[in-house]
C-alpha cells in the first residue's frame, strides 16, 4: 500500500517545503490540479529534478484532448497522470495509449461515478488503475467512507482512495486494502505534517 501526498491549494514554495519535510514517509508526490493551473508543467519538471527517485503523479483531471494532456504530463516527468472517468471513451483510450507509449500509468478518477455500467466500460477500455474519490466541495457533506469500495467490488483494478482522508478514518480504510491512499489536507494543513505523515505510513505498513 502506497501513501500519496496531494499538494493542493499551496504556493510553489509551500509544495517544496512540505515534500522536503515528509519525503521519507511518502511514496508518491501528487502535483494537484490547482497547483498545475497556477504553475503549469514547470513545477512538475522541477519536482522531478529534485526527486528523481520518487513517483510523481500529475493530477491533470483531463476531460478532453486526452492524448495532448497525457503527453504534457509524461514529458514533464510524471509517472502517472489522471483522466476523468466521466470523459468520453475516446479521451480515456487516448490517455491509455499515451501511457503505453511512454511506459507510464494513467489513473482514472471515479469522481461522481455511481454506475456499475461505467465500471464495466472502463474495464473493457483496458483501464487498470482507478481512484475512488470524494471531491473537495462534496467533502462538506462528509469525506471518504468505506462503502464507496462497493462500486469497484470484484473489479480487476488497482484502487486508489481520496477525499478528506485523515488519521481517524485511515484505519478502517486500510482494512479494505486499497493500493494507494491519497492524503492532502490532513498532512498539508496539519500543525506538524511530519508527525501525521509518519503515523499514516505506520498505519498503512502494518
Q: Cβ(78)–Cβ(57) under 8 Å?
A: yes
User: What's the gap between Cα 25 and its chain centre?
Assistant: 16
CB of 161 to ligand 5RP, least distance (A): 9
| Under rule CB under 6 A, residue 80 binds ligand 5RP | no
H helices of the chain, where? 12-22, 33-39, 41-50, 66-75, 89-102, 116-125, 167-174, 185-188, 193-205
- Contact characters 111-150, ligand 5RP, x per CB under 6 A: ------------------------xx--------------
By CB under 6 A, the residues from 46 to 65 that bind ligand 5RP are 59
| Under rule CB under 6 A, residue 193 binds ligand 5RP | no
Q: Of all residues in this chain, which one has the CB nearest to ligand 5RP in the complex? A: 184
| Rounded-to-integer distance, Cα 8 and Cα 21, Å | 16
Task: Give the nearer residue to ligand 5RP in terms of CB position, either 16 or 97.
Answer: 16
- Element (DSSP H or E) covering residue 31: strand 28-31
- Element (DSSP H or E) covering residue 138: none
Is the CA virtual torsion 116, 119, 123, 124 positive or negative?
Answer: positive
Q: Binder to ligand 5RP among 81, 184, 196, 200 (CB under 6 A)? A: 184
- Comparing CA positions, the residue from 53, 57, 28, 61 lying closest to residue 43 is 57
- Contact characters 145-174, ligand 5RP, x per CB under 6 A: -----------------xxxx---------
Q: Binder to ligand 5RP among 28, 29, 32, 76 (CB under 6 A)? A: 32
| Rounded-to-integer distance, Cα 92 and Cα 67, Å | 9
By CB under 6 A, the residues from 2 to 31 that bind ligand 5RP are 6, 8, 30
| Under rule CB under 6 A, residue 183 binds ligand 5RP | yes
Q: Which residues lie near ligand 5RP (CB under 6 A)?
A: 6, 8, 30, 32, 59, 135-136, 162-165, 182-186
Amino acid at each position: 500500500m502506497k501513501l500519496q501526498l496531494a499538494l493542493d491549494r499551496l504556493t510553489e514554495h509551500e509544495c517544496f517545503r512540505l515534500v522536503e519535510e515528509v519525503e521519507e514517509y511518502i511514496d508518491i508526490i501528487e502535483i494537484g490540479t490547482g497547483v498545475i493551473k497556477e504553475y503549469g508543467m514547470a513545477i512538475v519538471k522541477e519536482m522531478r529534478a529534485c526527486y528523481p527517485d520518487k513517483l510523481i503523479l500529475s493530477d491533470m483531471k483531463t476531460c478532453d484532448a486526452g492524448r495532448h494532456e497525457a503527453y504534457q504530463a509524461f514529458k514533464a516527468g510524471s509517472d502517472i497522470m489522471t483522466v476523468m472517468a466521466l470523459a468520453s471513451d475516446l479521451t480515456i483510450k487516448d490517455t491509455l495509449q499515451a501511457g503505453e507509449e511512454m511506459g507510464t500509468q494513467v489513473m482514472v478518477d471515479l469522481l461522481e461515478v455511481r454506475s456499475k455500467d461505467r465500471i464495466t466500460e472502463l474495464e473493457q477500455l483496458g483501464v487498470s488503475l482507478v481512484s475512488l474519490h470524494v471531491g473537495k466541495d462534496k467533502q462538506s457533506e462528509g469525506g471518504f467512507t468505506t462503502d464507496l469500495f462497493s462500486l469497484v467490488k470484484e473489479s480487476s483494478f488497482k484502487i486508489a482512495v481520496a477525499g478528506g482522508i485523515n488519521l481517524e478514518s485511515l484505519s478502517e480504510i486500510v482494512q479494505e486494502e486499497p493500493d494507494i491512499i491519497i492524503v492532502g489536507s490532513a498532512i498539508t494543513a496539519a500543525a506538524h505534517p511530519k508527525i501525521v505523515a509518519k503515523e499514516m505510513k505506520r498505519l498503512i505498513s502494518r
